């Protein structure tokens, strides 16, 4: 797995090179993540009615500068639905295919891992992951550069070709979940090119920080994981949180 951070396709030109981070107002509004988590807790009875799969292993990867603690609620929910969940530390590998859920930077790693080991990855779900377009379209790109020692990227001209594939087609089902009012990364950097086994799921009003605790996101993740291995049906945007799903464009 590559150690490069905010990943992107590197193949875009024109408008893709001129993407800007979300506004500072949206960044400040990330505090709504606390409300999202609280609502999800009260909506637990509804969430437990989500489609259930076969209990296959699910690897959940956290975002930049955070640990498995940040994915506690998401992993706990998936365990309640019967999935064998693992955090950043994998535990034992019993040879079963795994689905990977990656939040923010974790989603970048998830797609990279899926490309490197397609035979062991069943599906990939990303939450607000900036895997395409301009790496500077983030309100914390400077922080990432400082912490990781990578960059600056000069508006993408120094992006290596190995990243082209991360934002492209994967050989297994993939779903990108994002919000147009994400206060950390530009939502446009999370948009997949939809095809026969890849889709975009927009969650209206969700914050970046709250994606792993947003009730509509949790339901969508559960719905995607419930699909049988080797099959893909586009998300129906239904269930008790149907009003929260946008067009995905």
Q: Which pLDDT score is estimated for 27?
A: 83
Residues 83, 86: Cα–Cα separation, whole Å: 9
Q: Which pLDDT score is estimated for 237?
A: 93
Q: Which residues contact 69 (CB under 8 A, 6 or more apart)?
A: none
pLDDT, tens only, 115-167? 999 999 999 999 999 886 565 677 656 555 545 555 555 444 445 455 667 88
Instruction: State the sign of the Cα–Cα–Cα–Cα dihedral 189, 191, 192, 198.
Output: positive
Q: Which pLDDT score is estimated for 4?
A: 34
pLDDT, tens only, 21-56? 888 898 889 989 999 999 999 999 999 999 999 999
At residue 163, the 3 state secondary structure works out as helix
- Containing 101, the helix (H) or strand (E) segment is strand 98-103
Q: Which residue has the higher pLDDT, 94 or 129?
A: 129
Cα(first)–Cα(last) distance of the chain, in Å?
A: 29
Q: What is the mean pLDDT of residues 105-119?
A: 92
pLDDT, tens only, 198-246? 999 999 999 999 999 999 999 999 999 999 999 999 999 999 999 999 9
Instruction: State the sign of the Cα–Cα–Cα–Cα dihedral 155, 161, 163, 167.
Output: positive
Q: Which residue has the higher pLDDT, 86 or 131?
A: 86
pLDDT, tens only, 183-193? 999 999 899 98
Token representation of residue 238: 């239904």
Neighbour order of strands in the sheet with 98-103: 84-86, 57-61, 98-103, 121-127, 174-178, 198-202
């Amino acid at each position: 797995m590559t150690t490069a951070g905010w990943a992107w396709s590197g193949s875009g030109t024109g408008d893709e090179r001129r993407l800007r981070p979300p506004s500072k107002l949206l960044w400040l509004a990330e505090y709504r993540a606390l409300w999202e988590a609280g609502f999800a807790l009260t909506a637990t009875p509804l969430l437990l009615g989500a489609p259930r799969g076969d209990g296959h292993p699910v690897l959940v990867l956290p975002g930049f500068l955070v640990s498995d603690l940040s994915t506690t609620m998401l992993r706990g929910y998936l365990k309640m639905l019967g999935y064998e969940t693992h955090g950043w530390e994998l535990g034992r590998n019993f040879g079963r295919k795994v689905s990977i859920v990656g939040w923010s930077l974790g989603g970048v790693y998830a797609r990279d891992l899926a490309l490197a080991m397609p035979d062991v990855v069943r599906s990939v779900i990303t939450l607000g992951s900036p895997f395409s377009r301009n790496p500077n379209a983030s309100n914390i790109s400077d922080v990432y550069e400082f912490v990781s020692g990578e960059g600056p990227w000069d508006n993408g001209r120094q992006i290596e070709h190995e990243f082209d594939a991360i934002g492209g087609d994967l050989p297994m089902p993939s779903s990108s979940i994002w919000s147009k009012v994400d206060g950390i990364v530009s939502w446009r950097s999370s948009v997949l090119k939809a095809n026969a086994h890849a889709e975009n799921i927009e969650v209206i009003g969700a914050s970046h920080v709250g994606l792993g605790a947003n009730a509509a996101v949790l339901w969508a993740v559960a719905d995607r994981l419930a699909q049988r291995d080797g099959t893909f049906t586009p998300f129906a945007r239904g269930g008790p949180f149907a009003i929260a799903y946008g067009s995905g464009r």
